[in-house]
Structure formats: C-alpha cells, structure tokens
Amino acid sequence: MSRKIIFLTLFLFTLVTSFFVASLTEAESTENFEDRRSRILDELSLAIDDAVLDEKYSCCIDPPCTMCYMGSWIWDDGICRCDEMIANGEDDKVCPQCVRGLEEGQCKYANETICELGPEVIS
C-alpha cells in the first residue's frame, strides 16, 4: 500500500515538473526581440552597478560604458579604468565608447574639465 503511494507521488511529481519545464521553455522561445533585449540590457546594467559598488568600475561617463564590462576593450574581468586613465593622462587607454560619450557630453562629473581628453583622442 505505502509503495503504491510513494510510486504515485513520484509519478505526480515527475508529471508536474515536466509541465513546469515545458512552460518555462515555451516562455523563453515566445519572448519577442524587444523584451529579450530589454531583459538582457537590464541585467547588464545591474551587473555594472554591482561592479561600480565593488569599485571595479571607474567609468567616466553616466550611464557607464558597457564595452569595458563586456571585455571588448583592454580590461578583463568586467572592470573599467577609463576614469583613472583620463586622470593619468593616458587618453589612448580610454575605451571608444567612453570617448564617444564624452564627446556627447556624458561626463559623470559636474565639473566637466575632469573628463577632458587630449586633442589627439578627440576626432
């Protein structure tokens, strides 16, 4: 008798679990492009916020660049040192996304002279 109950319980559990997995898989595949992009960019933004709090991300623009986090520039491990490179006068090490952001007036400081790049970087 108790074996039957155990078997039935396991059977029901398996059934419910497979329905749950199937519905999750379907939800992902029916997510449209805009929703998916928005969800991914939100996650990326939250991850960068965490990196800023951990002092791994000292970006010069606001909102911060994503290029450094993605490892598409000279920094690895999701760090950004663009801010420090400007302060050190190493403008050639400031990522292209930050350079463009600065050109578009996205310097995160109220005093924008902190974000000034040398003439060789500004296109």
Instruction: Catalog residues that contact Zn ion under the rule CB under 5 A.
Output: 65, 68, 80, 82, 95, 98
The Cα–Cα gap between 44 and 80 comes to 14
What is the nearest approach in angstroms of Zn ion to the Cβ of residue 40? 19
3-state helix, strand, coil in the chain (%, to 5): 60, 5, 40
**Minimum gap (Å) between residue 16 Cβ and Zn ion:** 47
- Taking the complex as a whole, the smallest distance from the CB of residue 75 to Zn ion amounts, in Å, to 8
Check the CA dihedral 94-62-57-60 and report its sign.
Answer: positive
Which lies closer to Zn ion via its Cβ, residue 98 or residue 117?
Answer: 98
